[in-house]
Every structure is written in C-alpha cells, then in structure tokens.
C-alpha cells in the first residue's frame, strides 16, 4: 500500500489549484476538479475533510465555491496529508521487534520533516517542471 493514497494526492492537487486563486474569487468545485483532473464526486468528499480541518472554506449560493481558509504560505503539505490520511504511517501496527519499531518511528518523523513545507514552496517544483527536458 502506498504511503500517500489518492486522497492525499488529489487533496494536494486541489489545494494547489486553490492557492493559484488565493485572494481572488472562490472556485467552483467543477472548476477545481477539471483543472486538477480529479473526479468531482471524490473531490467533494476531500473538500469536506479539508473544510473540517480549517484548510478551506466553502461559500454557499449561486456565486459560491471554495477558497483557502488562510494564506498558502501558512498551509503545510503535512497539514493537508494529515487531514486526509489521518496520519503518515510507515507500518500499520507496531511489531514485536523493538529495533524495527524505533527505526519505523524515526522514519515517520523524517517523513514529517520532508512534508513540512508550505504550499507556496511547492512552486519551486513548477520551475523544475518548466525546465525539464526529455
């Protein structure tokens, strides 16, 4: 089983789309789904979890939609993954081996450090992508 499921990947993609429009108008769910290539029904579930975690806000009405609840510089990738995945796990349960348990716990903490970057910091990957050649 992958460390990060489609929930986490799709959730990050949706937040990246919303971050492009931060401070502007709200985005409708169909627009987010189309831009991020996420099934709309699945996205609705993810945005509900992200709303309960305080990462996005929903606006009701004809001109309603979704927007980030706070500055993308203050939203960490780790926050999104924990909101959607519940936690980052290396293994499902502790095993009867204290050395491996220590190793897995340290690995989990290292993963948290890797994902402790803001959504805005992900923009550096856009530059890498644009400069990528085959």
Helix (H, G, I), strand (E, B) or coil at 59: strand
Joined tokens for residue 2: 């992958």
pTM (predicted TM-score): 0.85
> Which tens digits make up the pLDDT trace of 3-32?
788 999 999 999 999 998 998 889 999 999
Band of pLDDT at residue 1, cut at 50, 70 and 90: very low
- How far apart are alpha carbons 116 and 110 in whole angstroms? 10
pLDDT over 90 percentage in the chain? 57
Helices (H), the chain: 6-20, 29-36, 40-52, 77-85, 98-114, 123-130
> Which tens digits make up the pLDDT trace of 62-116?
888 999 999 999 999 999 999 998 877 777 777 889 899 899 889 888 888 889 9
Residue 118 clears pLDDT 60, i.e. is over it: yes
């Amino acid at each position: 089983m992958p460390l990060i499921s489609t929930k986490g990947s799709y959730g990050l993609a949706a937040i990246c789309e919303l971050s492009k429009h931060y401070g502007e108008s709200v985005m409708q769910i169909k627009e987010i789904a189309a831009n991020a290539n996420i099934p709309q029904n699945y996205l609705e579930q993810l945005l509900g979890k992200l709303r309960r975690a305080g990462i996005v806000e929903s606006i009701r009405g004809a001109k309603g939609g979704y927007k980030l609840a706070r500055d993308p510089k203050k939203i960490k990738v780790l926050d999104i993954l924990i909101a959607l995945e519940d936690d980052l796990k290396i293994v499902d349960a502790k095993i009867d081996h204290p050395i491996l348990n220590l190793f897995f716990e340290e690995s989990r903490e290292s993963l948290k450090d890797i994902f402790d970057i803001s959504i805005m910091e992900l923009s550096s990957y856009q530059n890498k992508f644009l400069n990528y050649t085959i």
